[in-house]
Amino acid sequence: MTENKNLQSGMPKTQKKGKSLPPKLIIKLGKFVWTTLWHTMMSKIAPRNQSGEYIRPSSQFRNFITTQADSPYPAAAGRYHLYVGMSCPWAHRTLVVRALKGLEEAISMSVVSPDATSGGWVFNDPEEGCYTLADLYQLANPGYSGRSTVPVLWDKQTKAIVNNESAEIIVMLNSQLNEFALNPTLDLYPQELKEKIDWWNDRIYKNVNNGVYRCGFAQSQEAYNQACEELFTTLDEIDTVLETNRYLCGNSVTLADVRLFTTLFRFDIAYYGLFKCNRRRIKDYQNLGAYLRDMYQLKGVADTCDLESVKHDYYGSLFPLNPSGIIPAGPDITYLLEPHGRV
Ligand SMILES: N[C@@H](CCC(=O)N[C@@H](CS)C(=O)NCC(=O)O)C(=O)O
């Protein structure tokens, strides 16, 4: 009755007071539209299997730089170039190895940024006559229809993509350009540890590197639960190993550590909140926390870490996971410079 009276006067009572919730129908409709849109958007950024689990597409350019003179991509200084996004953990692997090996002079690099509307990578200044990374992929391979991902190892001489798979690029940087490296004797993938490194790589890729994406991009509760369980079981296991080992495979840093590090660096910043990996922060693990500081403090590594890009790109560009686009204020990561106490 009261409601009717107010309606007749052109203004419902509840609205006057500004306290009303939207009618149920609007909530229902809003939820339906948003959920449908969300699934559509997620299926574009995150291909899934039937149980809603995220499946990462495989990289398509898989050539190698080698030291053989007749190689299509012979080892050389100044010929190859890296395209990276500073927020990307896969691209970050290549920057860490480039820094540890002292290859900054031999291999140039440029940074791409995500386009605010499409999410694709764009150049800050045009490169090779291209404005976007997708254009560069087209230049190298006209008609290419796969994803235009970073990192890209580019051959400036033949205008070709040598390789766009971080796991392979870091193997090349470790062993094929020693002639031009400032730290040629540093071997991050020594013969005697290969089996152990590969074992960790497989486990860490599935459950940690890609595991955080399996949590964040899960499109069903079951898929999320499983990814989350596997992620934290593996982190616990690593924490135990790091109680006695300084690094994953013993006393020296290897490619397995590099691959773990770039995920750990982003964990408390982005994965903990945005990807719902929130059972525990890395900072709060006794051994993993100190190990992260140890890795961060290796010569040249901190310079490859870009907190603001990580926050900005993850929270700003993964629209379906953060529709407001609001970038969080924290965390403060200055503790990464505190003594790690590991020997
Ligand atoms: N397998 C690739 C994955 C690289 C990757 O997924 N990069 C993301 C950024 S973190 C990307 O460029 N995504 C753009 C897209 O999918 O269109 C690698 O490890 O090199």
159-169 burial, b at 16+ Cβ within 10 Å, e below that, comes to ebbbbbbbebb
pLDDT at site 197: 98
Where in the sequence is the domain holding 233, given as residue range(s)? 191-337
- For residue 325, is it within any domain? yes
CB atoms within 10 A of CB 2: 9
The C-alpha angle with vertex 315 and arms to 309 and 319, in degrees rounded to 5, equals 130
Ligand 1 centre distance from Cα of residue 312 (Å)? 17
Query: What is the spatial distance between Cα 295 and Cα 96, in angstroms, rounded to a whole number?
Result: 10
**Is 150 touching ligand 1 by the criterion CB < 6 Å?**
yes
Residue 215 is a catalytic residue? no
- For residue 54, is it within any domain? no
Are 209 and 197 contacting, i.e. CB atoms less than 8 angstroms apart?
A: no
**Is 149 touching ligand 1 by the criterion CB < 6 Å?**
yes
Ligand 1 centre distance from Cα of residue 182 (Å)? 29
Whether residue 200 sits in one domain with residue 327 = yes
CATH number of the domain encompassing residue 84: 3.40.30.10
* pTM assigned to the model: 0.91
Domain count, the chain: 2
Whether residue 273 sits in one domain with residue 205 = yes
**Is 165 touching ligand 1 by the criterion CB < 6 Å?**
yes
Query: What is the pLDDT tens value at each position of the chain, 343 positions in all?
Result: 344 444 444 445 444 555 666 788 888 888 888 888 878 777 777 777 777 777 777 788 899 999 998 999 999 999 999 999 999 999 999 999 999 999 999 999 999 999 977 779 999 899 999 999 999 999 999 999 999 999 999 999 999 999 999 999 999 999 999 999 999 999 999 999 999 999 999 999 999 999 999 999 998 999 999 999 999 999 999 999 999 999 999 999 999 999 999 999 999 999 999 999 999 999 999 999 999 999 999 999 999 999 999 999 999 988 888 989 999 999 999 999 999 999 9
Query: How far is Cα of residue 86 from the mean position of the Cα atoms in its chain?
Result: 9
pLDDT at site 14: 46
Are 272 and 187 contacting, i.e. CB atoms less than 8 angstroms apart?
A: no
Are 89 and 266 contacting, i.e. CB atoms less than 8 angstroms apart?
A: yes
Whether residue 233 sits in one domain with residue 157 = no
Whether residue 333 sits in one domain with residue 199 = yes
CATH number of the domain encompassing residue 200: 1.20.1050.10
pLDDT at site 107: 98
